[in-house]
Amino acid sequence: MNVNQSAPPVPPFGQSQPIYPGYHQSSYSGQPGPAAPATLHGAYNGPAPGYQQVPPQGVLRAPPSSGVPPASAAQVPCAQTTYGQFGQGDIQNGPSSTAQMQRVPGSQQFGPPLAPVVSQPAVLQPYGPPPTSSQVTAQLAGMQIGGAVAQAPPASGLGYGPPTSLASASGNFPNSGPYGSYPQSQAPPLSQAQGHPGVQPPLRPAPPLASSFTSPASGGPRMPSMTGPLPPGQGFGSLPVNQANHVSSPPAHALPPGTQMTGPPVPPPPPMHSPQQPGYQLQQNGSFGPARGPQPNYESPYPGAPTFGSQPGPPQPLPPKRLDPDAIPSPIQVIEDDRNNRGSEPFITGVRGQVPPLVTTNFLVKDQGNASPRYIRCTSYNIPCTSDMAKQAQVPLAAVIKPLARLPPEEASPYVVDHGESGPLRCNRCKAYMCPLMTFIEGGRRFQCSFCSCINDVPPQYFQHLDHTGKRVDAYDRPELSLGSYEFLATVDYCKNNKFPSPPAFIFMIDVSYNAIRTGLVRLLCEELKSLLDYLPREGGAEESAIRVGFVTYNKVLHFYNVKSSLAQPQMMVVSDVADMFVPLLDGFLVNVSESRAVITSLLDQIPEMFADTRETETVFAPVIQAGMEALKAAECAGKLFLFHTSLPIAEAPGKLKNRDDRKLINTDKEKTLFQPQTGTYQTLAKECVAQGCCVDLFLFPNQYVDVATLSVVPQLTGGSVYKYACFQVENDQERFLSDLRRDVQKVVGFDAVMRVRTSTGIRAVDFFGAFYMSNTTDVELAGLDGDKTVTVEFKHDDRLNEENGALLQCALLYTSCAGQRRLRIHNLALNCCTQLADLYRNCETDTLINYMAKFAYRAVLSSPVKTVRDTLITQCAQILACYRKNCASPSSAGQLILPECMKLLPVYLNCVLKSDVLQPGAEVTTDDRAYVRQLVSSMDVAETNVFFYPRLLPLTKSPLDSTAEPPAVRASEERLSSGDIYLLENGLNLFVWVGASVQQGVVQSLFNVSSFSQITSGLSVLPVLDNPLSKKVRGLIDSLRAQRTRYMKLIVVKQEDKLEMMFKHFLVEDKSLSGGASYVDFLCHMHKEIRQLLS
């Protein structure tokens, strides 16, 4: 590379120039636009516009709202499969992304044609006096969400006390959809009544857009009802209206306190078609739907209602109402909107503090000076300038870093920069590496460090002149001056004992006790290894892998094998002194696969035969890891142990364990002991492994309790992985195990790694979460690190930040590649700083926040009672939302819950974390399962925690057969399931196909090759391979979902009303759980109550 070459017109690595003309930072939804108006709209479940009396100007028009399904909907039987012309989104998820209002198709199959929604009058003559402001205030003051109140039955159990007997929101209602089953309510007041169009909006800065709705009030006068139906667009359960993110509409204003909205009835205004006219407010696509027609399988709330135009009957009292699940923020809609708004444009990283698209959106990244969100995601991209402001908001400041993340094929891997013997250029004071954030001064002879402000000399060999903007003329020739992520080749100073490392080794350590032989595991594994050894990871264009391999088998004693290429047959050496472990051979234990191919194949053929008649049931565990580590130490290389283990190690040896499984400890102060290791032996062993660069991957095949909490300590602290196959059977679990094994052996790993995160003055890294070891407060030590693992880092203020400079992060990872090359991988990210809380809340990312909160909670259960941990999460979430309400939102009624636009899914996602098996286990969840999930989540990335806590539910028969796209997801709730359909549910670990009892016979035949629902085998784990479009499509979808995930998801077919259905329903996270977890609706009410307590 010519250092004196002038900058080319186009950057050589296919980068665009960092700042496009006209390119500016986009807002959260991906579209810049005017700020939201200062006032917010009417609440969720506010009074139906038609029942609100207004002064008789004849100008005012009510916002469109969703109507109740008319009577004709009630004629559809519950199990009917015909869906007319409604697309999936229309039925299951509220609004479509485009339509502001929907017409009901004239060819509906539900009965007589309906009047089109848009032509209905917006204001109706009221059927009874609305509550006055004073009545409303009294109503809200006495309102207790979630508790029993006079005149109202208690809300269904929140999981924060004994559940009450009221039906929950889980949708378990006989012959009824959600509209028919929820009692209808008196309507709580709109937070701001529509004011006169002539009133000027108040002059105040616009807050970030918020979603708002009112919780159902419990006392006070009730709205009279009528027997006739409401016209479409009207109704007691009408959905709230929310300001669109980028539309500026006249704000609504409150009437003076105490004003009664009375006056003569207003005649209906003429039909209005333009949603842009004053008085009509556009609906937000985030969570609250446009007016909808009837929904299949949902009965009308007005049984026997006459057709439109009939006279109303006598008023009847209505029971209180629950929140309408369609009226609260929908994860599905938010994900869909982000895909539509931000999926088509590449994400260009040149601008500081941009919030990237959601993890659920497929997008291309162009690195122009900041690390790709595939490597680093932050909880907020705008950090408070002071620690006081950060404490007030309670939003954790954290980054989820995935240093070796795999990139899609369209994106280039980080460039490798070789600075020769001098090594990479660094700041003399803080040791930060050269990056695009550094500033060159004095004509290029010196540079100022952006992290600590120290001024450093530029070495003569690195000198280059500056252009008229102060940038080096070779900036675009040098990855470290123009890209956010790149690698340096490390010099010998960065190596252990000042000598370059040898290529790493893999040691396969196989349990050959009775259990492992009896299940067929040993035979299956040996057969697979014969071919798998050809696919060991290799560098770039290398013809074969540099990794050497070794083999050990064990039960109560260890057997080492000499597989030297000069031998005709492998030789076995037995070590029975497990208390003082040593490696009996050096030469011939670790070998090159291609050289010793014949001897290795012979060994793998012999192992299953040698131990075929074993009666040995006891096993050791710690000595096996010790032996592998000693072998790597003797060979002076780093490496990985692959352990295949079946039972609790009860044989006399170091690390011997006893069965301590005790379900009686759940919900007691001693519950934390179930997550803690039984003995300190394994921590000490892990520390020695890290020092040697020995990473451990553990494959467990338990038939009963094996104490995962203790056995997973070494994999956890060495950066390894744990895989668990309970009650392993070759015919059912073979595909899952072999797929996981192939992926684990083939993935690229960095060995003997050290990671450090540096920050600019003002903040510092204070806490770390993940699978690693730390011997001091700054260095994250990883014996191994693969492309799936993340390290989550929390930051705290130690000084004041300023808005001009922002806050900078640099993650440096020093590691040995699979070929034995020592490298440094650098990721840089610049964030904005703010003095206004509104800017913080505008630039948060909920998915990353939940990833951090889950890891924080899952670590806290080691030292605190589970109930304390759950309460801490709820309190923190309430404080975050209360601070927003107090400091950023427009003034509005206390009965209204207002959520920041980019955090409106925080309650639903947090509820999923609270209900997870670790924090609230059901009766069927074992202690081992909880420990397994706890360590698994600790190193998950943001995309994995997103789908793990809120699973994807995909209807399989709705989208066209010739479409290759994934079907649109629906919300994870039982009331979204139709018995006439088939659904696929996945959460990254599990995969279910749920079959409704009324599925058409042709669909059953096409998918399962049987003639009726009753003949489908429940619990089936593989779909038959059939030559028809539906079968091909569903199997293709399953394959593509498995390819997206880091672990193979085993399929389970579940039939409606079958015993396996309880397991499936566990993943319908918006519903109340059997273990006492609240439904989404209930939790939202509980959060609202907590926020109001904090504000009062």
pLDDT in tens, 641-697: 999 999 999 999 999 999 999 989 988 999 999 999 999 999 999 999 999 999 999
Residue type, 435: C
Instruction: Calculate the average pLDDT of the chain.
Output: 78
The neighbour count for residue 497, using CB atoms within 10 Å, is: 7
Mean of pLDDT values over 117-144: 34
Q: Which residue has the tokens 């120039």?
A: 17
At 267 the pLDDT is 40
Structure tokens at 512: 């050959």
Mean of pLDDT values over 924-930: 93
Give yes or no for a contact between 632 and 665, defined as CB atoms under 8 angstroms apart: no
Give yes or no for a contact between 971 and 1070, defined as CB atoms under 8 angstroms apart: yes
Give tens-digit pLDDT for 793-833.
999 999 999 999 999 999 999 999 998 999 999 999 999 99
Calculate the alpha carbon distances from 480 to 3, 94, 211, 258, 425 in Å. Answer: 13, 48, 42, 65, 10
SS3 268: coil
**Confidence bin at 212 (pLDDT 50/70/90):** low
The neighbour count for residue 542, using CB atoms within 10 Å, is: 11
Rounded CA separation 75/666 (Å)? 48
Give yes or no for a contact between 1054 and 992, defined as CB atoms under 8 angstroms apart: yes
Residue type, 1052: I
Q: Which residue has the tokens 């369609």?
A: 326
Cα dihedral 373, 831, 27, 404, rounded to 10, equals 0
Mean of pLDDT values over 729-757: 96
Rounded CA separation 1028/1023 (Å)? 13
Q: Comparing C-alpha atoms, which of 546, 741, 516 is closest to residue 608?
A: 516
Q: Comparing C-alpha atoms, which of 382, 436, 448 is closest to residue 803?
A: 382
Give every CB contact of residue 324 below 8 A, 6+ residues apart in sequence: 44, 45, 178, 182, 237, 239
Q: Comparing C-alpha atoms, which of 66, 67, 74 is closest to residue 111?
A: 74
Give tens-digit pLDDT for 1020-1047.
999 999 999 999 999 999 999 999 999 9
The DSSP secondary structure of 1-37, one letter per residue, reads --TTPPPPSS-TTSPPPSS-TT-----TTS---PPPP
Over 50: is that where the pLDDT of 279 sits? Answer: no
At 83 the pLDDT is 34
Q: Which residue has the tokens 């924060």?
A: 160
Calculate the alpha carbon distances from 406 to 73, 413, 735, 973, 1044 in Å. Answer: 50, 8, 24, 33, 12
Q: Comparing C-alpha atoms, which of 120, 83, 276, 278 is closest to residue 195?
A: 278
Percent of the chain predicted with pLDDT > 90: 66
Give tens-digit pLDDT for 881-914.
999 999 999 888 888 899 999 999 999 999 999 9
Q: Looking at per-residue confidence, does 255 or 852 come out higher? A: 852
Q: Is 735 exposed, middle or buried (0-12, 13-18, 19+ CB in 10 A)?
A: middle
Over 80: is that where the pLDDT of 785 sits? Answer: yes
Q: Comparing C-alpha atoms, which of 312, 302, 323 is closest to residue 73?
A: 302
Each residue of 13-26: b (16+ CB within 10 Å) or e? eebebbeeeeeeeb
**Confidence bin at 318 (pLDDT 50/70/90):** low
At 965 the pLDDT is 83
At 473 the pLDDT is 95
The one-character DSSP state at 207 is P
Over 50: is that where the pLDDT of 277 sits? Answer: no
Give every CB contact of residue 98 below 8 A, 6+ residues apart in sequence: none
The dihedral through the CA atoms of 130, 135, 137, 143 has a sign that is negative
Mean of pLDDT values over 93-122: 35
Mean of pLDDT values over 259-275: 38
Over 50: is that where the pLDDT of 297 sits? Answer: no
Rounded CA separation 884/879 (Å)? 9
Q: Looking at per-residue confidence, does 323 or 824 come out higher? A: 824
Over 50: is that where the pLDDT of 307 sits? Answer: no
The neighbour count for residue 791, using CB atoms within 10 Å, is: 24
Structure tokens at 309: 């135009």
Mean of pLDDT values over 945-954: 97
The one-character DSSP state at 799 is S
Chain center to CA of 639: 31
The DSSP secondary structure of 931-963, one letter per residue, reads HHHHHHHTT--HHHHHHHHS-EEEESSSS-TT-
Give every CB contact of residue 878 below 8 A, 6+ residues apart in sequence: 1087, 1090, 1091, 1094
Give tens-digit pLDDT for 842-865.
999 999 999 999 999 999 999 999
Structure tokens at 120: 């209905």
Structure tokens at 324: 């309408």
Calculate the alpha carbon distances from 805 to 24, 385, 625 in Å. Answer: 18, 11, 49
In degrees, to the nearest 5, what angle opens at C-alpha 645 toward C-alphas 642 and 650?
A: 135
In degrees, to the nearest 5, what angle opens at C-alpha 52 toward C-alphas 176 and 218?
A: 55
Give every CB contact of residue 480 below 8 A, 6+ residues apart in sequence: 417, 424, 425, 433, 434, 435, 436, 486, 488, 826
The DSSP secondary structure of 582-648, one letter per residue, reads --S-STTTSEETTTTHHHHHHHHHHHHHHTTT--------HHHHHHHHHHHHHTT--EEEEEEE-S-
Q: Please, what is the end-to-end C-alpha distance for the chain in angstroms? A: 66
Rounded CA separation 447/441 (Å)? 6
Percent of the chain predicted with pLDDT > 70: 71
At 322 the pLDDT is 66
Give tens-digit pLDDT for 460-494.
999 999 999 999 999 999 999 999 999 999 999 99
At 361 the pLDDT is 96
Over 70: is that where the pLDDT of 330 sits? Answer: yes
Biggest distance spanned by C-alpha atoms of the chain: 105
SS3 907: helix
Give tens-digit pLDDT for 21-76.
333 444 433 444 444 444 333 333 333 333 344 344 443 444 443 333 443 333 33
Over 50: is that where the pLDDT of 191 sits? Answer: no
Over 50: is that where the pLDDT of 180 sits? Answer: no
Rounded CA separation 536/894 (Å)? 62
Q: Looking at per-residue confidence, does 26 or 708 come out higher? A: 708
Over 90: is that where the pLDDT of 155 sits? Answer: no
At 631 the pLDDT is 96
The dihedral through the CA atoms of 621, 626, 631, 637 has a sign that is positive
Residue 987 has φ and ψ, to the nearest 5°, of -135, 20
Over 80: is that where the pLDDT of 236 sits? Answer: no
Q: Looking at per-residue confidence, does 719 or 243 come out higher? A: 719
Give yes or no for a contact between 268 and 56, defined as CB atoms under 8 angstroms apart: no
Q: Comparing C-alpha atoms, which of 161, 160, 158, 153 is closest to residue 183?
A: 153
At 539 the pLDDT is 82
Output Rg (C-alpha) for the chain, integer angstroms: 32
Over 50: is that where the pLDDT of 502 sits? Answer: yes
SS3 550: strand
Rounded CA separation 1092/1096 (Å)? 6
Residue 1011 has φ and ψ, to the nearest 5°, of -90, -15
**Confidence bin at 1086 (pLDDT 50/70/90):** very high
Give every CB contact of residue 632 below 8 A, 6+ residues apart in sequence: 505, 507, 638, 639, 692, 693, 694
Give yes or no for a contact between 922 and 862, defined as CB atoms under 8 angstroms apart: no
